[in-house]
Structure 1
């Protein structure tokens, strides 16, 4: 029943028009014990990992908020709909983990390994992913205000799937997120929300930004070689000292170009 309720909540909160604010917290009781307390201790989690005998541990729908899980081997773990708000996952190995619809509000994932993780529908507002590895992770979720500075997001799969919209148009939300110095080479961020995001010094080589909202974002000093900006909204976007601009795609098809803050060459 708990899992069903979370799925229903996600469906209701994501089934919104493209222009509306995607809000996964809509209607959620963030004061409930299942959202703020852990039902297991770290020692009990370690026992479950040991009992799994090298197989991915099943922690789906568990309340693990506030728990110290730093440095644990959670490769391939099933954490679907798990509550990990304010949890310490610093340096943990979550490579290939199932984090679908998991809650990671203000969680500490500094230096964590999340390569290939399925983060579809994750709610990670205010979480700290600085220095983490999210290469090839499926990131269609809410990272509003999150810190991803210096993180590796190579080949991140965050683009909206226009062919599968049974739950409405779901997009990756990086609104007001810190993406400075991140490696986003080859990432798909089509139709993502990047309003007021800090992308200074980031590597956007080959990144798909088609239809994304970059309003108010700061791209000063970013590398944009081969990136696709077709239909990207650049209203108030700082497009200064860009690198590799000569090979950008869709540059003439941006939206609100006259409102961007750009060099004379932009």
Structure 2
């Protein structure tokens, strides 16, 4: 893996195929990385807060513990990316592709995930308090013990999602598709706990 730590400028990123490169712990705060190819790159612990990553390709990248707070990842591709423990507070993830991504224990407080594709993503113990997931695709996603307090899930597709012990207190569930979702010990939007039913059939009105 190549290390480009001494060559980092926005211009450098615009002229390179940086797939598989090593940027571990690098400070890229407020960089414009729109459309950059960072497929499989090592960005563990990197500071990308406030950065613009619109349309960037980060599929398979390792972003464990990275700081992406207030970053703009609109339409970015993060399929199969590792975002465990990443900080995504107030980040823009509108229509971002996160198929099969791992976001275990990630902090997505107040993040905008409108229309995001989170099919089969792992969000175990993720913090999604006040997150906007309007129209998001969460089919088959794992949200065990995730905190979705006050989250907006209007029109989200959560078919087959695993919400065991998740917290949906005061979440907006209008037209949310919870068909076959696993709701065991789940705190629902009205504060009640779902005990007996394992699968919910239908769409929340």
Residue 120 (structure 1) aligned to one of 78, 84, 106 = 84
TM-score, normalized by length of structure 2? Answer: 0.88
Residue 108 (structure 1) aligned to one of 72, 90, 94 = 72
8 Å CA contact 1:211–1:229 kept in 2: the answer is: yes
CA distance in 1, matches of 2:37, 2:98: 16
Which residue is 2:198 aligned to?
249
Which residue is 2:116 aligned to?
151
Q: CA deviation at 1:57?
A: 1.1
Alignment of 1:190-209 (within 5 A): 190-209=144-163
Q: CA deviation at 1:250?
A: 5.1
Which residue is 1:135 aligned to?
99
Which residue is 1:225 aligned to?
179
Which residue is 2:13 aligned to?
45
| Unpaired runs of at least 5, structure 1 | 1-38, 160-170, 238-247, 252-261
CA distance in 2, matches of 1:250, 1:131: 27
Q: Which runs of 4+ in 1 moved over 3 A?
A: none
Q: Does 1:96 align with 2:45?
A: no
CA distance in 2, matches of 1:232, 1:129: 26
RMSD: 1.9
Bigger Cα Rg: 1
Q: Deviations over 1:78-121 (max 9, x none)?
A: 11000000000000000000000000010000000000000011
Say which SS state the counterpart of residue 186 (structure 2) adopts: coil
8 Å CA contact 1:199–1:220 kept in 2: the answer is: yes
CA distance in 1, matches of 2:78, 2:170: 28
**Cα gap change, 1:235 to 1:184, in 2 (>3 Å):** closer
TM-score, normalized by length of structure 1? Answer: 0.68
Alignment of 1:173-184 (within 5 A): 173-184=127-138
Which residue is 1:185 aligned to?
139
